[in-house]
Amino acid sequence: MPNCAEVLIRLLEGYGVDTVFGIPGVHTLELYRALPASSLRHVAARHEQGAGFMADGYARVTGRPGVCFVITGPGMTNIATAMGQALADSIPMLVISSVNRRHQLGLGEGRLHELRRQQVVFDELSRFSHTLQRPEELPRILARAFGLFRSGRPGPVHIEIPVDVITMPADTVDIRPWALPEPPAANPSQLREAAAWLRGAHQPLIAVGGGAIAAGAELQRTAEVLGAPVINTVNAKGVLPRSHPLAVGGSGSCPAVRDALRRADVVLAVGTEFSETDYDFFFKGDVEIPGRLIRIDIDPAQLARNVRPSLAICADARQALDALSGLLAGDPRADAGGAAWAAELRERLRQAREGSYARFFDALQEALPDLVLVGDSAQPTYRAWLQYETDAPRRYFHSASGYGTLGYAIPAAIGAKLGTPGLPVAALIGDGAAQFTLGELSAAAELGLPVIFLLWNNGGYEEIRRFMCESGVEPTGVSLKSPDFLKVAEGLGCRAVRARDLPALKVALREAAAASRPTLIEVDQTDIV
């Protein structure tokens, strides 16, 4: 007779889950009893935060939810930071945890792993958090989670199962997956109004964020029929390929791009928050859009945040752009010199580039043209924000925007490699941030994954040191005593090399991508910039 844990595994299989990240514990034994007989691959992280970041990286490259199994109490508080990052960046993640027995909840009697109101705590770090009371609820709650991942604004979902419910008989539970809803479509009259505004615009501009990541073809058709330049946030890098003549790149925080937003008479913004980290990285104040602003977003609440729209369209980006491009194609607007404007903006961005960092990023892409680059909150990542563009979506992402956590890149790159085994994957991380999750190198070695860990060594927290100096604060706590990273990496089962210049780095990258196990490549900032 199957119990609740076994039914959970079968339901996950039914929704197409193939990988689970986690660490077993005494309160999740039943989940692990059911795993060996399933088709699910279990990836053993070294810390629950690492498991969460792995799930995040997996979700970003595949577009499918990353799934985690964690224990009550400390397992959940350990994964909390990863959930916060996923929530800030709208990344689909399913966190399944145990919790104490139903009759013990909320009593505070000092039970093992007890967190008095665990569900309440993690409701703030998820799209929703649910405590399962009976096995019969499980199909409905999972349908709600996967329905949100498919047709709403994604993010983490937390389901906690009391240890007395995990073992309950569940032979009567219907394990067929529920039919999931399609994403919402735009109101036709609003689309017609948007098309009329765009068709009559003298200088239209398109701004896209992570909400448009699956709408690349539709975005390109819309941009081309309008002749409108396209700017993008970090999470939308590559949605319009960098090689396209209408692609601007850079960042909404760059003076050239902020000027363009002021200059455009109609701005079409798709799946972008207009948040501080994307549009005000240099703390110059709120972004200004004096022209008409058409906002398309799947989340109705987001349409009332940060920047007031002239027209607010609640819809899935892909469906809305597909319909909008069809309306515009029927009566295309006259060429307004959009490609020339995009070229002008690209040239301004090129002139603002820091040459040494530009050469560093060029070296990465010359060595590995199909690279998936996973950034941390690190010195070169802040430059990648402005200077690194890709020819395909889901090829660059980082933790520096939104929640802005440290230690993300190492485990997230592991998850990304598991999600895209045919592409080279590299983590770009500083020496300070690396010490948060360095133990996950062992997980990569155990899996035999040829992930590249590109460690940028500048002797501590260089960015915070700079802020301290500029603010007249004596630098404290920012110069770290680091381990010998090469020896640590070798001890954890990885290859390890030091690259002292860009030619050596390119050789090391190519060799690492062809290796049969992970490689840590250490570069000293003074050798590169």
**Which CATH architecture does the domain made up of 4-166 adopt?**
3-Layer(aba) Sandwich (3.40)
pLDDT tens string 339-355: 999 999 999 999 988 88
Amino acid at 227: G
Beta strands at 93-99 and 156-162: parallel, antiparallel or unpaired:
parallel
Amino acid 460: pLDDT? 85
Mean pLDDT in the chain?
A: 94
Q: How many residues does the chain have?
A: 529
Q: Which 8-state DSSP code applies to residue 408?
A: -
Give which of 393, 397, 355, 399 is closest to 377, Cα–Cα: 399
Measured distance CA(388)–CA(394) in Å, rounded: 13
Give which of 449, 408, 450 is closest to 432, Cα–Cα: 408
Q: Which pTM does this prediction carry?
A: 0.95
Q: What residue spans in the chain does CATH classification 3.40.50.970 cover?
A: 4-166, 354-528
Q: What residue spans in the chain does CATH classification 3.40.50.1220 cover?
A: 188-350
Pick the CATH number of 188-350 from 3.30.70.380, 3.40.50.1220, 3.30.420.40, 3.30.1490.70: 3.40.50.1220
pLDDT tens string 422-455: 999 999 999 999 999 999 999 999 999 999 999 9
Distant-in-sequence, close-in-space partners of 224: CB < 8 Å, separation ≥ 6: 246
* Residue 256 in this model has a pLDDT that exceeds 90: yes
CB distance 270 to 226 below 8 Å: no
Task: Find how far residue 90's CA is from the centre of its chain.
Answer: 7
pLDDT tens string 297-332: 999 999 999 999 999 999 999 999 999 999 999 776
Fold of 354-528: Rossmann fold (3.40.50)
